[in-house]
Chain A
Amino acid sequence: MTTKLGFRFGHALLGASFGAFGLAGTAAVAAEQITFVSQGGAYQQAQTVAILDPSAKKLGITINQDSIPDAWPAIKTQVGSGKPIWDVVDTPTGYCLRGGEQGLIEKLDFSKIPNAAAMPEAYRNPYSVSYEFYSSVLAFSQKTFPKDAPNSWADFWDVKKFPGRRALRNHPIATLEAALMADGVAPDKLYPLDVDRAFKKLEEIKPNITVWWTSGAQSAQLLNDGEVDMEMAWNGRVSAVAKEGAKVAFTYNQGILQSTSLCILKGAPNLDTAVKFLNEAVDPVHQANLPLNIDYGPGNPKAFDTGVIKPERAAQLPSEPANAAKQALMSYAWWSSPAGEAAEKRWATFMQK
């Protein structure tokens, strides 16, 4: 009795806190439906226009939307309870992989997802398929560097040639990669990461880092207010600041190309519809519409062949083939391996020393 009550109560709580779109009444609706979760804000709005609404229309289904900045704890809780309420989640690829290994995420049958099956191997894994790309790039103030701006992580590390205040993300992912590139490792030879070498290189730059930022908004503010002269930041954040009129720019050279992916919760209430939606969501045309609404690159590279994205626009996107060639493609498989997890744990010790 107690457990049952606790259970219902838990659901009521989840419904109240996440269910902005009225999950309670959906049982009565006859048409197929799924609950899709992303990270909210302008990003989810752009998806709604480019991907979600068109997919719902084409498949004749209802897509209930939810949003949460960090889906991982909620995925654990929902699947742990045995009765998840979400179906499809858009979350950093590493969580899809880690979730898959822990039995929290459904294994995908790519024969039912032809759009994903047609994507390059590096863009998918047994549990998820790339949904959109962003990049951790070297951004800089054009006021401090009107010309001869830093153009590589080696430049970022060179405090004599490029004096100025610096910021990095307070997280090992992408930061260790940047350190290794600064130390001379080629972007396509990074994995498996030489963790010792990366931390040694980071120790070198540590006294010159003014801020270790934690949120994307913070990184944007630092650049916008001139609090730092150069930093690692996500490309979309930098271009948003530039659009507001700040004299800032970034280079894709040695950027770290990262993705979020779509994955399906283990025991999702609408599994079949979720698989259908997954296929539709990575359709090249829908995917091509995404960068027309926000500064992120399509997860499906075929989007660049549709003609929907004009060449000028394509040149600005992180996953455009020529831009992608200058960057390092993040290996989420390495980061969710034991070595990757150990590197993540080591970070806190590094920060507090």
Chain B
Amino acid sequence: MLALVSPALLVILLLIVLPVGWLAWQSIYHDGFTLEHYRRILSEDIYWRSFALTFEISLFVTVLALVLGYPVAYAANAVPKAWSVVILALVLLPFWTSVLVRAYAWLALLQRTGVINQFLRYIDVIGEPLALVHNTFGTVVATVHILLPFMVLPLYATMQKIPNDLMQAGASLGASPAFTFFRVFLPLSLPGVLAGSTMVFVLCLGFYITPELLGGGRTVMVSMLVSRNVELYNQFGAASAVAVVLLLSVLLIFFVVSRFISLDRVLGQK
């Protein structure tokens, strides 16, 4: 068994553990032990603002993805197999386009001269174009689009394992479809909700290109501070300290989630 996994372990060690460890080391060591970079993060309020904004956006994106993704997963689970393949294919299709291309596609849709504003003006709903992009709104919309599959797939996998008999049993006892859904189906799908939400939330914390292109410069997420600090402080430590704090928050989230649900379900789809 160990022989089988050792190549993978080696790759992880060399490509993830060592570089990340090295970066973490640099954040506390530069010509001697220093907590300078962490002191800066705690004392300058731009960091606090950025972390707060990043968590706020991630939370918002997660809720939206759940609201949009749950019905899709439910439909994919409820319809005949042939149709569920179509639905899942549609969910996965945008996956094959790069994040950068999708960001520009959203620009074409959302900007002042974009499709949506043009249409709304054409049908005379609005006089002046709406500010749909170059702000937090545009960032959230595009991020939800990119992360939606990470919500739908775990939900779908969990729903697949809910036996249909339970719903029929509920119905045979006289419960309405809505009642069986809320009392039986929804509680059983909660592990999927938690798994999908964790994935989306954690991935969103590290988003870079989308807020950079669609945020108009005002939506400064943590990843952008990382890149800014490389430029500003001439030391990787200044940037990696920010990354370490973000990494620790992610680990904390996983830890909290693991108290409620086995991590296998979040990461591996058992």
Contacts and interface: CB of A to CB of B under 8 A. Distances in A.
Genuine A/B complex:
yes
Interface string A71-86: 0110010000000000
Interface string A202-217: 0000000011111000
Q: Name which of B134, B218, B225 has the most chain A CB atoms within 10 A of its CB.
A: B134
Interface in B225-252: 225, 228, 230-232, 234, 236
B217 A351 contact: yes
Nearest to B18: A6
Contact of A211 (B18, B46, B50, B216): B216
7 contacts: A211-B217, A218-B213, A348-B46, A348-B220, A348-B228, A349-B44, A352-B49
Contacts of A102: 234
Contact of B220 (A6, A165, A211, A352): A352
Nearest to B220: A352
Interface stretch (B57-65, B105-113, B172-180): B105-113
Contacts, number: 56
Interface in B172-230: 212-213, 216-218, 220, 225, 228, 230
A344 B232 contact: yes
A225 B232 contact: no
A348 to B, nearest CB: 5
A195 to B, nearest CB: 15
Given A210-B134, A214-B212, A349 B113 contact: no
B90 interface: no
A212 B216 contact: yes
Interface in B72-129: 104, 107, 111-113
B112 A165 contact: yes
Given A9-B14, A225-B113, A349-B46, A213 B217 contact: yes
A351 B224 CA distance: 13
A183 interface: no
A227 interface: yes
Given A225-B107, A345-B232, A352-B220, 12 more contacts: A72-B231, A73-B236, A98-B234, A165-B112, A210-B216, A212-B218, A221-B107, A225-B111, A226-B112, A227-B113, A341-B232, A351-B218
Contact residues on B (Cβ < 8 Å of other chain), bracket: 20 to 34
Contacts of B234: 76, 98, 102
A170 B217 contact: yes
Contacts of A348: 46, 220, 225, 228
Interface of A: 6, 9, 72-73, 76, 98, 102, 165, 170, 210-214, 218, 221, 225-227, 341, 344-345, 348-349, 351-352
A211 B134 CA distance: 6
A9 B11 CA distance: 12
A233 B238 CA distance: 30
A160 B224 CA distance: 34
**Interchain residue pairs A-B with the least CB separation, the first 6:** A212-B217, A170-B217, A211-B134, A211-B216, A226-B113, A348-B46
Contact of A214 (B46, B111, B217): B217
B20 to A, nearest CB: 14
Contacts of A73: 230, 236
B160 to A, nearest CB: 40
Nearest to A350: B46
Interface string B125-139: 000000100100000
A8 to B, nearest CB: 12
A225 B104 CA distance: 12
Interface-centre pick from A102, A341, A348 (highest chain B CB count, 10 A): A348
B50 A352 contact: yes
B5 to A, nearest CB: 20
B100 to A, nearest CB: 10
A226 B117 CA distance: 13
Nearest to B40: A345
